[in-house]
Amino acid sequence: MPDRSLDSLSSAFYPKACALIAHVTARGVACMVAQTGRTVAEHQQNLLAGTSGTMLSLHLPRYMRWRPEAEWGLALLDADREKSDAIDLVPYEQYQLHGPDKANYDGLDPAYGVICEVAERLGLRSGGRWRKPFDPGHAELVLPWKVTLLAEERARPWPAFRTV
C-alpha cells in the first residue's frame, strides 16, 4: 500500500503540498493523494513499470538521495532524513474509475491541467512537463540541483489537456 500521508513530507515541502491541494480543490477539482513517500522496493517496481524515470526519486527519503552539504551548501535536518519532497495527486474521478493503478489513469484529463498549473504557480516542478514518463499528477520541491532542469522543462509547451 503506497504511503499517502502528508506527514511523510519534508518540512520544506509540506506547506507547499498543502497549498497545492487547497488551491486545486478551490478550483473545483476533487483530488486525492496517491503517494507521498516511497520505499526502495516500491520504487524499483515503478522503475520496472516505467512509471518512474529516475533512480533518485524525490518520493524516496532524503537520506537516500541528498547531495553532500559541502557540494550544495544545504544541511540535511535530522527531522527530514526520512521525509520525501514529492507528491502524486490523482483526480478523484480517475481514482474511482481505475483504483490505485496509475498506468490506467487518463493523463490528459482536464483536472490534471489544473493540478499542473497550480503546482507551477506555487513554484513546484510539475511532472506534466515531462516527456518520459509523462506524470501530470506529480509535483515536487525544486531543489538547487534541479533549477537548470526546471528552466528547460518550463520552456516546453503545455501538453494538450482535454477541455471540459
What pLDDT tens digit does each residue of the chain (164 aa) get? 789 999 999 999 999 999 999 999 999 999 999 999 998 888 888 778 777 777 789 999 888 876 655 445 556 667 888 899 999 999 999 999 998 888 889 999 999 999 999 999 999 999 999 988 899 999 999 988 888 999 999 999 888 887 75
Residue 69 has φ and ψ, to the nearest 5°, of: -55, -40
Task: Indicate whether 161 belongs to any domain.
Answer: no
Task: Indicate whether 103 belongs to any domain.
Answer: yes
State the maximum Cα–Cα separation within the chain, in Å, rounded to a whole number.
Answer: 49
- CATH code of 118's domain: 3.30.1380
- How many domains is the chain built from? 1
The predicted structure's pLDDT at residue 122: 98
- Which residues form the domain of 92? 6-154
Short-list 148, 99, 105, CA closest to 128: 105
88 vs 137: CA distance, rounded Å: 5
Cell numbers representing residue 51 in the block: 512509471
Task: Indicate whether 162 belongs to any domain.
Answer: no
Task: Indicate whether 1 belongs to any domain.
Answer: no
Task: Indicate whether 127 belongs to any domain.
Answer: yes
Task: Indicate whether 84 belongs to any domain.
Answer: yes
